[in-house]
Amino acid sequence: MSTNVVPQAAPADRELAHHKAPETPRTSAPGITLAAALLGFALITLDASVVNVALPAIGSDLGGGMSGLQWVVDAYTLAFAALMLSTGAFADRIGSAKAYALGTVVFTLASVACGLAPNLGVLIGARTVQGTAAAVVLPASLALVRQAYPDPARRARAVALWAAGGSVAVALGPVAGGALTTVWDWRGIFFINLPLGLAALALMARAPRTAPRPAPLDLPGQLTAVVALAALAFAVIEQGTVRMTAGAIAVVAAVAFLLIESRAAHPVVPLGLFRTPTVALAVSVGAAASVAFYGVIFVFSLYFQRTRGESALTAGLMFLPMTALIPLTNVLSGKLSNRYGPRRPMLIGQLVAIAGLLLLLVPDEHTPALLAAFLMIPLALGCGLSVPALTAAMMEALPQERAGLAAGVLNAGRQVAGALSVAMSGALVAGGGGFVPGMRVSLAVSAGLFAVTVLVTLKVRMGKK
């Protein structure tokens, strides 16, 4: 599973549909552009997973309880997911190189603000800015790679390297978070972004510049999407009247979003896209995979430290057996999809993921941490097989000119599902029933979602509408 993001190709694919604007390259070496794009993509991907292991330390230092810790994760993910629907068009309007540089500068400055945060409110606000900037960096970075490699074969290898950078960052996230929190402080997981961001900008200074080009923006649709998603997260995380009010706002905003999108000339999410069965299936399976993966990372980061009493470093290392297999499984999924089509690896992956989630019902307060670590491996294998296959299925189901849009919708859907999974899991483990029972309910819900998508996968006939 490329567990953080499915490559978002919106601006790059729109490049293919429009006359290519002139470029003024500062260097003829496309490798410089690839290095800059890969580093930026890895940086924003790392920040989606590095914070989980540091949550207990953040809570001890800044307070805020479980709901506050959930927002430290979800403020980033929700902003990232919701705004990604429009940032491809934004990158087109100002030029991919300028968008990448702007996003990286804002992300780096927001990271410093996170590291200096005097309280939880400031930290959550800075994390929201981080997520907003990350949503700009991701599509711009891929567009730069596509522009730097006009030859299709070389471009395919470059995009594969770019995607692999994200998978490696996901694998290193928990370990890096644990190491920095133990050796330095939880603030180190944010301060480390300063030299990395500066390095990305230094590389970008030598990359080609791209001219801006017209691209429509659906601002009303984007605004209602942000309100609906944020309110839904509030409804899941918070309690009492706040939950009821947030739930009502989420419903109203969601209805407004659907009405706007059904009438907009250039909707941020064309609703007709979901009339293609394979598209609806791919988004559903991708969401189920994100619910399972992000929920497990969140609850087991807390389980290892709060329930088993391990250090942040040990907790981070406990995720290594799971995350280290992700890039290898992604490659295997691609090979299986090429040989047998995407349905078979999707089904196998979902079934393995269900088995992995059921195995994770075993750990309790007395289970050795190392055993729990190895019990997470089947889930990683299952998600790692499913996600590349479902991405391939979605791309095959739509014409080339809509591939970027499809990738953006899939990516945003997975990020939203991951954010809501953290919200749900946090609410369950913080409930009156105890941490381990709440964790088991969360895992059972994830397994149930996968079971539903297995049935749908068996029923849907893949292909174009």
Lookup: tokens for 357? 């989630």
What residues have CB less than 8 Å from 450, skipping those under 6 apart? 288, 289, 292, 350, 353, 354, 357
pLDDT of residue 32: 87
The structure's pTM equals 0.79
Domain range for 250 is 218-265
Q: Is residue 3 part of a domain?
A: no
Note whether 202 and 101 are same-domain residues.
yes
Per-position DSSP letters for 219-250, written without gaps between them: HHHHHHHHHHHHHHHHHHHS-HHHHHHHHHHH
Q: Is residue 73 part of a domain?
A: yes
Residues 361-381 have pLDDT tens digits of 999 999 999 999 999 999 999
Q: Is residue 410 part of a domain?
A: yes
Note whether 253 and 287 are same-domain residues.
no
pLDDT of residue 411: 76
Distance CA 73, CA 110 (A): 15
Cα–Cα distances in Å, from 215 out to 14, 37, 86, 93, 229?
9, 22, 10, 6, 24
Q: Does residue 23 sit in helix, strand or coil?
A: strand
As for how many domains the chain has, the answer is 3
Q: Is residue 449 part of a domain?
A: yes
Note whether 250 and 299 are same-domain residues.
no
CATH number for the domain including 326? 1.20.1250.20
What residues have CB less than 8 Å from 411, skipping those under 6 apart? 5, 6, 7, 8, 81, 84, 138
Tell which residue, 444, 436, 451, has the closest CA to residue 300: 436
Strand partners, 209: 24
Among positive and negative, which fits the CA dihedral 116, 117, 122, 125? positive
The DSSP secondary-structure symbol of 305 reads I
What residues have CB less than 8 Å from 300, skipping those under 6 apart? 318, 319, 372, 376
Q: Is residue 290 part of a domain?
A: yes
Residues 383-438 have pLDDT tens digits of 888 888 887 788 777 765 565 566 677 877 888 888 888 888 888 888 778 899 99
Note whether 193 and 332 are same-domain residues.
no
Q: Would you say 227 and 45 are in contact if contact means Cβ atoms under 8 Å apart?
A: no
Among positive and negative, which fits the CA dihedral 99, 38, 34, 26? positive
Q: Is residue 27 part of a domain?
A: yes
Note whether 243 and 306 are same-domain residues.
no
Q: Is residue 1 part of a domain?
A: no
The continuous run of DSSP H or E covering 24 comes out as: strand 23-24
Note whether 295 and 244 are same-domain residues.
no
Note whether 284 and 403 are same-domain residues.
yes
Note whether 299 and 259 are same-domain residues.
no
Note whether 260 and 171 are same-domain residues.
no
Q: Is residue 119 part of a domain?
A: yes
Q: Would you say 450 and 357 are in contact if contact means Cβ atoms under 8 Å apart?
A: yes
Distance CA 69, CA 305 (A): 14
Note whether 205 and 257 are same-domain residues.
no
Note whether 152 and 57 are same-domain residues.
yes
Note whether 205 and 307 are same-domain residues.
no
Q: Report residues of the chain scoring pLDDT below 70.
A: 1-28, 156, 208, 210-215, 399-407, 462-465
Long-range contacts from 157-161, C-beta under 8 angstroms, 24+ separation: 158/30, 158/34, 159/7, 161/34, 161/38
